[in-house]
Structure 1
């Protein structure tokens, strides 16, 4: 089923058409809010600061382009992601949360997600104050009192909550993941401006730079599509059982383990973790305490080193690939479920040996997946360094998000179309 056929089927089925239009409506609301700027911001100075700092460009991806507009949505889904990281880590060390997440099914996971929502606003408030203080130090915005900073930080916090809420409303329509689609729409909206910048800076003497860049870009897209769809298939056989006069089971199937099992989540987590110390440093510097100012300066100078930043970024992406996959793919539970339902891997004993086999297979896949995601994360920096321009930077993260979200959304729409046909 090709893309045009999927699009045609959406408008043929009334219920699916209605949900699709609701998603478009929510995305339009979101794009409208993105263009509402914060009060008293000098947009010209802000754009100068933004263009000089490539890290802002990276964070801008996950705000859906709102950061580039100095919008009330500038924090994007960053606070929610940071809260989710904290809660995910707590589920690994807190027995009560671990039991709630793994043993109580959808109800337990919904409660854990609710804790992440509660934690989002305090984090958004801290990040908002830190961001506004950074703007204040660069003479981009002026505050006469701390109350004005708190007012604007509350605006940014509420903006982050609205973005999270819109994402959940979109997810409820069962046409793709809401948060992913918001980020996706931001990347797509920025493409015309990026193409215009390329056109305006193009000269014939740069042809030798642009041509290899185009070839490498197409090769990167092909590589991302290939790796995103690549998977290891672990063969499974269900035991034969006699019920009455009939023989059941004995069916051969497989368990798919994708190379990018964690998707783009490790990159998102890594960026959220790198952003938080810097915004915290800006938050601490507000108090005008010498020790806190010294701590803030040390954090900023440490993360300003490009080699240290790149190494931390790659290491965090690689580490979160393992951590997130471990949190979402529970080998012990899967091995138990296989044993209960009479499913086994040929040549592997059920139970503990199956669990170890799954863990070893996943660790090997995560090694290559982590390196691939780390390479994509650093690709904009590598291409900018080689081409000596910010316009010619292949956004590996953006490509992965665009391709992953597009494939996931189309597959989900296909599933909804098939379900509707089955019901009819």
Structure 2
């Protein structure tokens, strides 16, 4: 309550909070606007039937925008994919790497390229989703390009509008706008899921067998949230000594356990479910390959192959992403230039190797933890007997996103309050 009082007393912080809430309300209103000319009831029934686990899971991450056939049905997926690819390309393409080092001017150009790539991804992904929906729902007529192209343009424009709303929060509001929109999408599903579960218990023909597993899952979510907070805040502090003017100053270099954040799960889930998505779109008949994919590479399957491949991919992408963004040679060089050293290790190459070893060990535990949190809700639905993925208030990836966004908001608020107190002393 003391923190809320401090936020209210700070005019600047209060305005940022209200502005952020306003943008999020606008976002939720836009989600309710459906693309014209489409059988919304047929689309909603298709996504809630439980037979399309991959797209149903994606619909949950968009706050139900896909099952409403909203103008924002693609969510921020194209922008997230474009941002990750651009971040990886800054290491591979020398021109982008030099732009990254130019400060704000270079970052503006990279953001421009990211938006262009987002448009390309949004067009391609919207076509794939529309093709899939049109081929599975008879009442949705998307038989020719003249029917599909206007919808593709509307959905692409919706994605870019959503990106713009996120940027407005980042510039004028509180926190990272893109993360907050994803956070709002996940949280917006919770009241509906509670209502469905409690409604089924109260009805005469309802499935009362869902209540106990649902309560158990709520307890499991609380445990996972606590573990995720500890893992997110967990870090290895490398001691660093700096010698200036004949005096030694002790400091530390923090390396987080979850260095890659949510990105390994995004990559792994996209890759492991890609065959299922293609299969649902093509729908081949009497194919052994299709049968194997359906049974082993589907989030709704109980196959150990899926969980093993999913876990391996999360750990792999944890190493892959961190190896690109955590440049130990540059860090060691910067420490050496500032007259610093890690006790027990020579400046330069030996320091870089030590940082790489520490990062390697942390990545193993961080990747395994991400895989654990991502898989546990899936395993729970398989062995609960009654719950489906649509009955879960939040997925494993959703837990990591929610915890990360809330912790980031708390940090930003505290920083803003400290800055305000410092300004008063001037």
Q: Distance in 2 between matches of 1:120 and 1:276?
A: 19
Distance 2:341 2:192 in 1: 53
How far apart are residue 319 of structure 1 and its match?
2.4
| CA deviation string 1:310-330 (max 9, x = no partner) | 444433322222233233322
| Partner of residue 254, structure 2 | 256
SS at 2:331's partner residue?
helix
Alignment match, 1:127: 125
- TM-superposed CA distance for 1:61, in Å, is 4.3
Selected match of 2:114 from 109, 113, 116:
116
> CA–CA distance in 2 between the matches of 1:281 and 1:326?
33
Given that 1:126 and 1:280 are in contact with CA atoms closer than 8 Å, whether structure 2 keeps it comes out as: no
1:421 and 2:421 are equivalent in the alignment: yes
Q: Residue 393 and residue 162 in structure 1: after superposition, are their counterparts in 2 closer, same or farther (change >3 A)?
A: closer
Picking from 199, 205, 218, the partner of 2:222 is: 218
Which of the numbers 353, 356, 360 marks the counterpart of 1:359? 356
Secondary structure, counterpart of 1:250 in structure 2:
strand
Q: For residues 277 and 129 of structure 1, do their structure 2 counterparts lie closer, same or farther at Cα, with a shift above 3 Å needed?
A: farther
Structure 2: how far apart are the matches of 1:299 and 1:160?
A: 34
Q: C-alpha displacement at 1:106, in angstroms?
A: 4.3
More displaced 10-residue stretch of structure 1: 412-421 or 7-16: 7-16
User: Aligned equivalents of 1:159 and 1:230: distance in 2?
Assistant: 38
For residues 188 and 279 of structure 2, the distance between their equivalents in structure 1, rounded to whole angstroms, comes to 31
Q: Quick one: structure 1 residues 392 and 151, their matched pair in 2 at CA, closer, same or farther if it must change by over 3 Å? A: closer
Cα distance change of structure 1 residues 6 and 301 upon mapping to structure 2, 3 Å threshold: farther
User: Is 319-328 or 186-195 further displaced after alignment?
Assistant: 319-328
Cα distance change of structure 1 residues 190 and 204 upon mapping to structure 2, 3 Å threshold: closer
Following superposition, the deviation at residue 221 of structure 1 comes to: 2.0
Q: Once the two structures are superposed, what CA deviation does each residue of 1:368-402 show, in whole Å capped at 9, x if it has no partner?
A: 11111122222232111011221257621111111
Task: Work out whether residues 72 and 156 of structure 1, in 8 Å CA contact, stay in contact via their aligned partners in 2.
Answer: yes
- Asked if structure 2 preserves the Cα contact closer than 8 Å seen for 1:127 and 1:280, the reply is no
Larger deviation, residues 118-127 vs 133-142: 133-142
* Aligned-CA RMSD value: 2.8
Instruction: Measure how far apart 1:183 and its partner are.
Output: 0.7
Distance 2:104 2:278 in 1: 34
Deviates more, 1:320-329 or 1:396-405: 320-329
Aligned residue in 1 for 2:204: none
Partners of 2:347 and 2:258 in 1: how far apart? 26
| 1:240 corresponds to 2:244 | yes
* TM-score of the pair, normalised by structure 2: 0.86
Say if 2:317 is the partner of 1:320: yes
8 Å contact kept, 2:20–2:173: no
| Post-superposition offset of 1:110 | 3.7
CA shift in 2, pair 1:97/1:280, >3 Å:
farther
Answer whether contact 1:34 1:72 (CA < 8 A) is retained: yes
Is 2:61–2:182's contact at 8 Å kept on the other side of the alignment? yes
Matches of 2:289 and 2:393 in 1, distance apart? 27
* Residue 34 (structure 1) aligned to one of 19, 25, 31: 31
Q: 2:141 is paired with a residue of what secondary structure?
A: coil
Specify every segment of 5 or more residues in structure 2 that has no aligned partner in the other structure, as ranges: 202-206
Residue equivalent to 2:367? 370
Task: Rate the CA distance shift 1:159–1:385 in 2: closer, same or farther, 3 A.
Answer: same
Task: Provide the TM-score with structure 1 as the length reference.
Answer: 0.86
Distance of 1:215 and 1:15 partners within structure 2: 38
Residue matched to 2:181:
182
Of 41-50 and 225-234, the range deviating more from structure 2 = 41-50
Distance 1:338 1:415, change over 3 A: same
- Post-superposition shift, 1:162? 0.8
1:256-405 to structure 2, matched below 5 A, reads 256-273=254-271, 303-304=293-294, 305=296, 306=298, 307=303, 309-388=306-385, 389-390=387-388, 391-392=391-392, 395-405=395-405
Whole-angstrom distance in 2 between the partners of 1:170 and 1:303: 41
User: Cα–Cα, structure 1 residues 207 and 123, in superposed 2: closer, same or farther, change >3 Å?
Assistant: closer
Q: Report the 3-state secondary structure (helix = DSSP H, G, I; strand = E; otherwise coil) of the residue aligned with 2:172.
A: coil
Q: What 5-or-longer segments of structure 1 have no aligned partner? A: 243-248, 286-292
1:6 paired residue number: 3
- Answer whether contact 1:380 1:393 (CA < 8 A) is retained: no
Q: CA deviation at 1:211?
A: 5.0
Distance 2:379 2:354 in 1: 37
Tell me the secondary structure at the aligned position of residue 330 of structure 2.
helix
